[in-house]
Amino acid sequence: MNAVGIGARIALRNILYLTDFSEASETALPFAVSIARAYESKVIALHIVTPTAYSPGLAYVTPEGAADAAAAAEELLNAEMQRVDSQLSGLVHETIMIRELSVWPAVERAIAEHGIDFIVLGTHGRTGTMKLLLGSVAEEIFRKSKAPVLTIGPHVRSGSHRGGQFRRILFATDFSVESLVALPYAISFSRENQARLALLHVQPAIGDRPAKVGPKDTVASILGELHDLVPRDAELWCHPEVMVEYGVPGERIVNASRQHGTELIVLGVRSKSKHLGAALHTGRATAHQVVANADCPVLTIRGG
């Protein structure tokens, strides 16, 4: 998905829905369906079969037993994909099941081959043998994908998709280039949904005191800078609210989203591991903490 200008309408032509047929993926599916309907998008449902995903213990059975187990696993996979196909009925869609050594190469190839504008996936926020789209894999996808990624975390309740509409959106920024890459998407989603947009900056703190205090670090100065991020014409539909919190960004973003009944969090994320830390809104620790603990979906856009 190409970068969009502030206030421009988002065009979601092709949505990639990643599924491992787990409960987390089931929770994510209604979001993909609802957003596709709202934006008249095509949905590509992709399941990736890795060598370790469906072959536990095969080394300890006879060749005949291994063949039977493999056939049973294949039958199960086909049945699960047919179920996904039926749930996408009424939408322009395609279901794909491929075998790959690991998840990301298959996702990267699908993004290129299908012109993917947007990715939807569910995550448990932990690791496991049978479940592929879990914490580490989901994180790899939203850090490497050029397309925005909507991650449905483990605390998002099934049935909470509200018809694919988000009435309250929270955009968190540390004013870095990487975090501001996500701003046009926050404003565009706000416009599409006629949603209220909150802009949040978290100042790092030591105990109850800010880690640094200068002329540009006062609450009034930060609030003014946040308000200036929103174009005047955008104020007509998003009714922006600006907020400053003190503490660890990941914790404060999640807390603020809960207090304000947020239905979508928007973050810019860094793609590389250097210069990452809890003090950065775009850092690995922050993004992981928000996705793993938020009660609502998190939209991440890679910035650099």
Give pLDDT, residue 283: 66
Give pLDDT, residue 61: 52
- pTM reported for the whole predicted model: 0.85
Give pLDDT, residue 76: 84
148, exposed or middle or buried, with CB in 10 Å at 0-12, 13-18, 19+?
Answer: buried
C-beta neighbour count of 60 within 10 angstroms:
8
In order, the DSSP letters of 98-151 are EE-SSHHHHHHHHHHHHT--EEEEE--SS--SS--SSHHHHHHHHHH-SS-EEE
C-beta neighbour count of 201 within 10 angstroms:
24
119 token code pair: 């990715």
Cα of first residue to Cα of last residue in the chain, in angstroms, is 14
Domains in the chain: ranges and CATH: 14-152 (3.40.50.620), 165-302 (3.40.50.620)
Give pLDDT, residue 232: 82
Give pLDDT, residue 198: 96
> In a structure prediction context, what are the per-residue pLDDT tens digits for the chain, which is 304 residues long?
444 555 566 789 999 999 999 888 999 999 999 889 988 999 999 999 887 655 545 455 556 555 555 667 778 899 999 999 999 999 999 999 999 988 999 999 999 999 999 999 998 755 433 344 545 788 889 889 999 999 999 889 766 666 667 899 999 999 999 999 999 999 988 888 888 999 999 998 755 555 555 556 788 999 999 999 988 887 767 788 999 999 999 999 999 999 999 999 999 998 765 444 445 666 667 888 899 899 999 999 998 6
